[in-house]
Amino acid sequence: MPRIIEVTVSPRGVATVQTTGFTGADCLAASRFLEQALGVTTTERKTAEFYQGQQAEQSVPQAQ
């Protein structure tokens, strides 16, 4: 899958940065320069791609 960084600017001047094709924190690193250039980040939503390749640890207490 190709790696894409899409920047959308609304008529009101609100910019949205969306990445596809990245897994894990690679998307954050790839789009960081755009976020810094555009200004303050107001909302951040992570997609399922962000969580791919990350191992989750879960503790389950055992009943005795």
Name the pLDDT band for 63 (thresholds 50, 70, 90): low
pLDDT of residue 62: 60
Q: Is residue 30 part of a domain?
A: yes
Q: Is residue 28 part of a domain?
A: yes
pLDDT of residue 8: 92
Q: What global pTM score does this model have?
A: 0.68
Q: Is residue 9 part of a domain?
A: yes
Q: Is residue 38 part of a domain?
A: yes
Full residue range of the structural domain in which residue 42 is found: 4-51
Q: Is residue 11 part of a domain?
A: yes
19 close to 4: Cβ distance less than 8 angstroms: yes
Q: How many structural domains comprise the chain?
A: 1
pLDDT of residue 11: 95
pLDDT of residue 10: 92
Q: Is residue 57 part of a domain?
A: no
pLDDT in tens, 33-59: 988 898 888 888 888 888 876 544 444
pLDDT > 90: percent of the chain: 22
Q: Is residue 45 part of a domain?
A: yes
Q: Is residue 23 part of a domain?
A: yes
Please classify residue 38 by burial: count the beta carbons closer than 10 Å to its beta carbon, then call 0-12 exposed, 13-18 middle and 19+ buried.
middle
